[in-house]
A and B are shown apart, each in its own frame.
Chain A
Amino acid sequence: MGEFGTALLTHGFLQAALLAGLLASVGCGIAGTYVVVKRIGFLAGGIAHAVLGGMGAALYFGIDPMRGALLAALASALVIGWITLRFREHEDTLIAAFWAVGMAVGVLFIARTPGYAVDLMSYLFGNILLVPREDLWLMAALDAVLVLTVAALRRPLLAVAFDEEFARLRGLPVTLLYLLLLCLVALTVVLLIRVVGLILVIALLTLPAAIATQHANTLGRIMVLAVVLGGLFTTGGLALSYGPDLPAGATMILLAGASYLVSTVVLHLLQRWRARRPLTAGGAS
């Protein structure tokens, strides 16, 4: 770890990697909270994987792949939103199909892209040590959009996440807000591509928020805690992986997964311990 500290001071690429991890944490804490409480992890996974189609197409046509990813993520959020609103009874199958078809399209485009410049692995699993500077700006901009949107629309977004039927009765534009929520998830997927890659996105999107829901009572507090946890996981994963030269993205995910396991077990033991204590007056109902 000390080795990581000194390397961090001397190597610009490590500083960029650290910053990328922290910027990604902001998005995954905020959007991830909605994904966890609204239980749309599978939808988020579908959006993330289908993005490869857009990145592949962007490479083939010679456009910046991150720009392709951004467009593809928003498009797949809208398609998946349309699927869940229009074909609710077949939602599961259709999202699974969209998930795989998106990836297949990406693989075909990349195979047909002239030259051998494309590193498919870095899209799938991320490469935080090679984040270009302009991508950091893109990530900061996406974070700003996320924070401002959620701050401005926190009440209607909570209403839609909590109880769609009641929100509809109150005259809120429920369909629009739901699609907006999926688009925020899509932006976060793009944020995370450089850090952990398309395949591991879903873990950083859900695990920090899932741990936070075990310890905080409101969406706002869960978001703050999830951002902090996300920062710890990305920074910790980066530091742990640096010495032994392990893949950073995978290390972050293992750290997050292990933390979730520990948090769940500790919470469970705590609840059993509390239940076993003699009841104080008015303590239980």
Chain B
Amino acid sequence: MSAAPVIEVRGLSFAYGAVPVLENVDLSVSQGEFLGIVGPNAGGKSTLLKLILGLLEPTAGAIRVLGRSPRTASRDIGYVPQYPAFARDFPVTVEQVVLTGRLGHGRLLGGYSPQDREMARWFMTQTEIADLAQRRIATLSGGQLQRVLVARALACEPQILILDEPTANIDMRVESDIFDLLRALNRRMTILVVSHDVAFISAYVRRVACVNRTLLCHATESIDGQVIHDLYGGDVRRVAHAH
């Protein structure tokens, strides 16, 4: 394990036009960490992820990912978006979607290599969607599609896995399955996961970053009613943790 952080954010600010979304955010993520990012809606969680991925440019401050600029580092990140940017009725099979994760490795011309296909099959097996390989994505349930997105991200062979609300629209049982999978993957890679569900996420991650225009980090053991009150501005039931 190297001592240098895999993600280093210093004095980061971002605004959509005149509307400030993030102000003076500092964050350091070390290798092998499983970091939860929580906060109210429109608090800037997804924006922070997009800045780390290089999809947005900061208004002020600096981001280094794996010691590089976010844009050049994005190939080594697996990203699972909250809202997929594609149309659900796009004529494409599960296997084809997972295979797009192999793009950016090797040549662009022609077809996929046998190794690419082998790897896609392996990640589909890991995420338990191998039997759906030839299904069109329009026919999948929300939970199945979520697994496809995770498999696509894993097919990138990432050093860092970033997930934005991976369990927003699926039921509790599948939610636990996905987080159990993430816990297993965490042995190999650094994971950042955004969730609105502080209670649920605390059972899995060791550190929580609370984002609401500014960012505060807490060890999960120290999250109490006051922290949640400060973050969400009251009206949230206190969560007791059993650690």
Contacts and interface: CB of A to CB of B under 8 A. Distances in A.
B1 interface: no
B136 interface: yes
A163 B152 CA distance: 12
Interface stretch (A80-88, A113-121, A166-174, A263-271): A166-174
B141 A219 contact: no
A169 B92 contact: no
A42 B156 CA distance: 34
Given A166-B100, A169-B75, A285-B141, A217 B91 contact: yes
B96 interface: yes
Nearest to A212: B91
A99 B230 CA distance: 54
A218 B93 contact: yes
B194 interface: no
B17 interface: no
Contacts of A168: 55, 74
Interface residues of A, number: 28
B84 A169 contact: no
Contacts of B156: 170
A11 B141 CA distance: 57
Interface in B44-95: 53-55, 74-75, 77, 79, 81, 84-87, 90-93
Contact of A219 (B54, B74, B91, B101): B91
Nearest to A169: B74
B178 interface: no
Interface residues of B, number: 32
B97 interface: yes
A153 B110 CA distance: 6
B116 to A, nearest CB: 10
Contacts, number: 79
Nearest to B140: A285
A50 interface: no
Contacts of A153: 108-109
B111 interface: yes
B92 A218 contact: yes
Interface string A129-172: 00000000000000000000000111110110111111111111
Nearest to B107: A155
A25 interface: no
A171 B54 CA distance: 11
Contacts of A155: 99-100, 103, 108, 110-112
Interface in A249-285: 285
Given A152-B110, A155-B112, A172 B85 contact: no
Given A156-B108, A170-B101, 20 more contacts: A37-B87, A37-B91, A39-B87, A152-B110, A153-B109, A154-B111, A159-B103, A162-B90, A165-B81, A166-B85, A168-B55, A169-B53, A169-B74, A169-B79, A171-B75, A172-B108, A217-B91, A217-B136, A218-B91, A222-B91
> What 8 pairs across the A-B complex have the smallest Cβ distances?
A170-B104, A165-B85, A163-B86, A169-B74, A171-B104, A170-B103, A171-B75, A217-B136
15 contacts: A37-B90, A152-B110, A153-B109, A155-B99, A155-B111, A155-B112, A162-B92, A164-B85, A165-B55, A169-B77, A170-B75, A170-B104, A217-B136, A218-B92, A285-B141
